[in-house]
Structure 1
Amino acid sequence: MKSILVKSIPVKSRFSFWLSILLLYLLPAHLLVAQSDPRMISDPQTISELTAQIQNVMQQENMPGLMLSIVSKDSILFSGGLGAADLKTGQKVDGNTLFHMYSVTKMFTALAILKLISSGALHLDDKLKDIAPEVAFDNPWEETHPLRLVHLLEHSSGFDDTHLNMIHNTSGRDLKGLQAVSFYRTCLVSRWKPGLVSSYANPNYTVLGYLIEKYSRMRWDDYIQKMLLKPLGMDHSDFELRIKDESGYARGYRFEDGHYIEFPFFVPTGNGAASALHSCADDMSRYLRFFLDDWNVNGTRWLDSTYLSAMETIHSTAGAREGLQIGYALGNSTYYNHPKADFRGHGGGGDGFESLINYDRRHRIGYAIANNGGQGMWRISVLIENFLTRDLPDFASAALEGQSAIPVSAKPALADYQGYYKPVNVRSEQWNFLQRVIGVVKLSEWEGRLVIKPLLGPADTVAWVRDRLWKRAGEHHASVAIGLDEDGKPFVQSGMHQYYRKTTYLPVLAQQLFLGLSVVALLFSLLWAVVWSVMVLTGKVSKRQVLVGILPGLAIVSAVVAFRLTTLTDYTNRIAFNSVNLTSLTIFVTSLGFGLFSVAGLGMLARQWSQLKSAWIKGILTFNAIFVTYLALLLWMHGWIGLRVWAL
């Protein structure tokens, strides 16, 4: 399940594995910020202007329908919908049309945990092995850094995100209780010390759903219905895993070749505590009012204000210990990227749906949106935020708000922090492992500022705020923290989740060099396979030598087929990952073919070396064979050779 919180690779952009990597890791961070600058879009002044502009975006970005809720102070400015909920029947979106909100569910799950904490049943720093010893997980640092409840809430457990074959339930039966948690057993492994840094992982909230059931003695969704939805009057919302009556629900679509293709109502895996919510504009308006009224419900406070403050505070990460408060808190997050307001909330996305809820309690404004075309919500969210903040002044540019009461320490000496830093926290070991090679950044000092230079593209230059916190030009909150970890090793955390640890550059340089040469070898191998085939056909090369020139090219063709089919299936038919079928078998065979053809090419070259007379031909064949084989070995080490997607 996608989440807007971590800027994960949109499934549409996964045309190939390499394109995914380039889009996510090689594009400079400051360019991403520039592209999302809210001031780049003109500000609508009235609701009619706003909805007109939103409809234009919907048409341009192929969104059939939109759920829209906008709240300001004591007023609901808009609660309803635009466009179609069901293209087949012509049903329009209205205030009661239910949209699949996916990961927005996590806000509700976190609220249920806070309710149990308020009753004394749980505590934020509880160890998971103490409160649920029956949950199997692996944490190599459990003795010194135990996995705690707060780590699950803040995604700082180090767990891997949901694997490709764990997104949809095709078993015909719902997973309940401990069985729902055990389904994700291969994901429940801490890859770094819990509490070091956050990395978005859906299994965290499946575990939380189980804890709700254990300590409330109710189904997790029944508990949320009773303790939250009913008091708020959210009478239409549900957490149904299997929708029986589809009439009140928006259908999800993807746009392809000029027309919309409908997704079926897939059944989520696990217990649903990470992604099962269906809600509508009218209910989300009530939910926004709940936050903007500081959790007052009909004149009664739902929980003490200390719990609300705790929900909006990041507790567990190394960056938070340095004072950094950008990122994921207890079931919600903030980017602090708007020039006038501090919006926080949650986003979600899956097959045919994208959703987002954001609010600013200080200014008492908020909105919730969802579309059933599976499209990103950035343009619409900027329109709404600019509308809601049109009469607000910009933040003061000189200092962070409220810092006059905070003692300012001396500026840290940067000499010990300069050097190269390697990414630590990748969201998915399957998709994102190359980030640790090509995501290395260099830290240096320039005129008292900290310069963060990625492998490719311009550098980020950040100014000192206080202590070991830094911010970019135009930002009103710190977005970068530096410090020393428990081993005395320098680290830097930049933005939402990017955590880097200082490293020796020579090994990284070697890896980057080999990876770059491997990409060149991929292109050369394809071209050379064509040239070699022509040479064989024209008699310039013996037919007995045909394989030595085309095997690396065949390896590349196999790789392209495997990765293209994997990414296309990820967008159009994820359910195929769950079982052995033509699609999953083709992925297995072609990914295996890349490894076999690569090794065979190297072996064939060694066997026929003496028969090759031209030195330059030997040089080209050697370059291609060595570096294509190197890439095959790298992919094999990370599970991409002979990929059995049904058994991840």
Structure 2
Amino acid sequence: MNVFFQRVLLLAILWLSFSPPTQAQVDMMAWPSSTEELEQRLQQRVRTLGVPAASIIIFDTAGVRWRGDYGSAAEKENEPLYAVGNLTEMMTSIAIMQLVEQQTFSLQSDVGGRLPELQLRNPYAEQHSLQLVHLLEHSSGLDQRRFRNHYRLHPDAPHIAALNRDPGALQVRWPPGTMSSPSSVNYAIIGALLESHYEQSWQQILHQQVLSPLRLESTFSHLPAVPEEQLMPGHLGLPPRQTESKDRWLWASEGAYSSAADMARLGQFWLTKGRDFPTSLLSAETLSSMEQPRSTLASDAGLIYGVGAGVDTRARFAYWHGKTSSVGGHSATLRYAPQHDIGYVILTNTDTLLPALEEQIWQFLIRDKGGVMTVPSGIAVEQRWQGWYQLQNPQHELMAPLQQVFDMAYMSRDGADLDLRPWLSPTVPLRSLDGSRLAHRRDGSVVGVLYSGLQGELQIEAHGEVRQRVSTAQALMPAFLVLLSVVILLTHPFGRHKALNNSWMRTFITLSALSLLLLVFVAGSLSLEEAATDNWRSVLVFVFSLTFPLFALAGLFTTLWSWRHEQAVIAKIRCLIAAVAACGLSLWFWYAGWLGLRLWAW
């Protein structure tokens, strides 16, 4: 019971950390006003949440302003090391942009032409080739890597071997250069491009092109190179439980391990635009250009917020460039705000608790800089933009069918003010600045844009999510039919058992409903890390995803076969409706690719 209440408390704190404050809360909230108060609050949250270890640094162009180590990190004599996950992309982007500056590559370089051995499948290649800039800005349309490609099986395998091992993730899902969606496959392909050009291993390339010039002395390209005594063990879940450290498969995307001091130095490089670093790395102009997206329809419409080359942007009463990641029981974030000459790094060895610590940091920095943004006046948008919107850029293709049905949003309009109300996330209050660009009404940051798609469709991008205008029927009917089918299926077993002569009519549908419930329960208990291995739960997912449609079909066949012999009209009609509902859900599973779902091979 104590564990239950601890989880409830942790979830409440994390929900408040994620939730954007209202304008009234901004005026009243007592944000930390000094480093002493910040230290006190962080210590309290570390104790309350049970954070195993965390290292935090605040830096500016002059160097480190403040540092705090918590939990077991405070006991380390040497720099504690953490998996920094997608922060690796910041280093990989530096290496490839050096070749762009040297004109060895261009941002428009065709990836298929540069890597002919890559098993890339781009059905849009005739008009929309996959270019280097699409990889850098995650606008390639490529899916996330499969679960089985979480961990490295062959220590010395190059990136091209890892990529071709997973051809399903090399299928382009939408025309490259239209919208972005994070995928570790993108930077793994950049890693393969670098290995092909230099004819060296990834470790050698990263060390000579990035780590050595930046003097990142406690950063390592992959797990086997990490000193064991400095490595902080990862933790998963709530409350955090220790997990085994495993080498990531796609090194150029998420393989690096580093210290807070090194990540702060990397942040300084970006914040100062390389001013105090070797000129051979990158020019200030190149670093500035990498902070803004250039390869999506939203960026063409004037949106400078989103995924750039190596860094993305978040808006929290300021524009914070950088990266945030959570892999292998570790979380990491590196953020810097050039307009305030400030940045911060948070590394922790838990996959869930970083937002609760990060909230205290950015609140302190914004209050310290007095930098709360003002909300500008707006220009009214046309009535046609009001209505239902469907998500277009899901991050993981496996979950896309579920998101396309249930992740709808309704946008209401009141002159220049718009309210985007997704079903699965908080309302986003927006204001039109010029009939197209959209500012957040609570802090004035421009986080979205209204624009037309390739075929003239009405689309909106807000906080990185791209949604397309759909009719009310298109928005509501799929979710209604799925929910109605589930309700019919789950209530079916409660009919009168003796009303039917052939009891198998109800039994098969009951077994189908039970399979569906068990499938949802077992799949919901799996983490992405656990889904990567052939364990007993992933085997159960495979079994139940097969028995669910098989029992549904058996129930429908038995009902139709026995129809003329059954006298209980209501009972047999209920069986027929339940069988049709089960078969309808089975067809949806088939469309989604969930029948016989083998997570260990996905």
Question: How high is the TM-score relative to the length of structure 2?
Answer: 0.89
More displaced 10-residue stretch of structure 1: 504-513 or 227-236 = 504-513
Contact 2:87–2:334 under 8 Å retained in 1: yes
CA distance in 1, matches of 2:369, 2:573: 66
- Written as runs of structure 1 = structure 2, the 5 A alignment for 1:486-505 is 486-496=454-464, 498-505=465-472
Counterpart of 1:48 in structure 2 is: 36
CA distance in 2, matches of 1:235, 1:353: 20
CA distance in 2, matches of 1:522, 1:41: 48
Matched, 1:268 2:261: no
Matched, 1:186 2:171: no
Matched, 1:429 2:429: no
1:244/1:388 CA distance change after superposition, 3 Å: closer
Counterpart of 1:295 in structure 2 is: 274
2:52 corresponds to which of 58, 64, 86: 64
2:20 corresponds to which of 23, 29, 33: 33
CA distance in 1, matches of 2:533, 2:330: 19
**Aligned AA (2:47):** Q
- Identical positions, percent: 24
**Aligned AA (2:376):** A
CA distance in 2, matches of 1:38, 1:282: 32
Shift of 1:293: 2.2
Residue 44 of structure 2 aligns to a residue in which SS? Answer: helix
More displaced 10-residue stretch of structure 1: 455-464 or 220-229 = 455-464
Contact 2:381–2:416 under 8 Å retained in 1: no
Residue 226 of structure 1 aligns to a residue in which SS? Answer: helix
More displaced 10-residue stretch of structure 1: 231-240 or 213-222 = 213-222
CA distance in 2, matches of 1:456, 1:181: 33
Contact 2:291–2:309 under 8 Å retained in 1: yes
Shift of 1:423: 2.2
Shift of 1:234: 1.2
Counterpart of 1:446 in structure 2 is: 414
Residue 430 of structure 1 aligns to a residue in which SS? Answer: helix
Counterpart of 1:124 in structure 2 is: 107
CA distance in 2, matches of 1:84, 1:445: 51
Residue 348 of structure 1 aligns to a residue in which SS? Answer: strand
Counterpart of 1:524 in structure 2 is: 491
Residue 319 of structure 2 aligns to a residue in which SS? Answer: coil
Matched, 1:479 2:436: no
Counterpart of 1:4 in structure 2 is: none
Counterpart of 2:140 in structure 1 is: 157
CA distance in 1, matches of 2:445, 2:101: 30
**Aligned AA (1:45):** S
Residue 253 of structure 2 aligns to a residue in which SS? Answer: coil
- Deviation by residue 1:56-76 (Cα, 9 ceiling, x = unmatched): 222222311012121134241
1:217/1:105 CA distance change after superposition, 3 Å: same
1:211 corresponds to which of 184, 190, 193: 193
CA distance in 2, matches of 1:281, 1:458: 32
Matched, 1:347 2:304: no
**Aligned AA (1:503):** V
Q: Any gaps of 5 or more consecutive residues in structure 2? A: 1-6, 8-14
Choose between structure 1 and 2 for higher RCO, CA contacts under 8 A separated by at least 6 residues. Answer: 1
Q: CA RMSD in A?
A: 2.9
1:93/1:380 CA distance change after superposition, 3 Å: farther
Counterpart of 2:508 in structure 1 is: 551
Shift of 1:210: 0.9
1:598/1:35 CA distance change after superposition, 3 Å: farther
Shift of 1:448: 4.3
**Aligned AA (1:391):** D
Contact 2:449–2:460 under 8 Å retained in 1: yes
Residue 545 of structure 1 aligns to a residue in which SS? Answer: coil
Contact 1:443–1:453 under 8 Å retained in 2: yes
Contact 1:80–1:94 under 8 Å retained in 2: no
Question: How high is the TM-score relative to the length of structure 1?
Answer: 0.83
Counterpart of 1:323 in structure 2 is: 302
Matched, 1:78 2:66: yes
Counterpart of 1:387 in structure 2 is: 364
**Aligned AA (1:482):** L
Shift of 1:494: 1.9
CA distance in 2, matches of 1:399, 1:52: 36
Residue 525 of structure 2 aligns to a residue in which SS? Answer: helix
- Written as runs of structure 1 = structure 2, the 5 A alignment for 1:456-475 is 460-475=428-443
Counterpart of 2:525 in structure 1 is: 568
Shift of 1:598: 1.6
Shift of 1:399: 3.0
CA distance in 1, matches of 2:435, 2:513: 50
Counterpart of 1:631 in structure 2 is: 585
CA distance in 2, matches of 1:122, 1:478: 32
Shift of 1:95: 6.0
Shift of 1:351: 2.3
1:35/1:382 CA distance change after superposition, 3 Å: farther
Contact 2:417–2:432 under 8 Å retained in 1: yes
CA distance in 2, matches of 1:332, 1:311: 7
Counterpart of 1:600 in structure 2 is: 554
CA distance in 1, matches of 2:468, 2:198: 41
- Deviation by residue 1:300-326 (Cα, 9 ceiling, x = unmatched): 574221101111010011111111122
- Written as runs of structure 1 = structure 2, the 5 A alignment for 1:16-31 is none
Shift of 1:608: 2.7
Counterpart of 1:357 in structure 2 is: 334
1:573/1:33 CA distance change after superposition, 3 Å: same
More helix by share: 2
1:279 corresponds to which of 234, 239, 258: 258
1:229/1:455 CA distance change after superposition, 3 Å: closer
Residue 145 of structure 2 aligns to a residue in which SS? Answer: coil
CA distance in 2, matches of 1:361, 1:82: 28
Matched, 1:506 2:473: yes
CA distance in 2, matches of 1:419, 1:362: 36
Contact 1:80–1:96 under 8 Å retained in 2: no
1:569/1:242 CA distance change after superposition, 3 Å: farther
More displaced 10-residue stretch of structure 1: 175-184 or 98-107 = 175-184
Contact 2:223–2:247 under 8 Å retained in 1: yes
1:368/1:571 CA distance change after superposition, 3 Å: same
Contact 1:250–1:372 under 8 Å retained in 2: yes
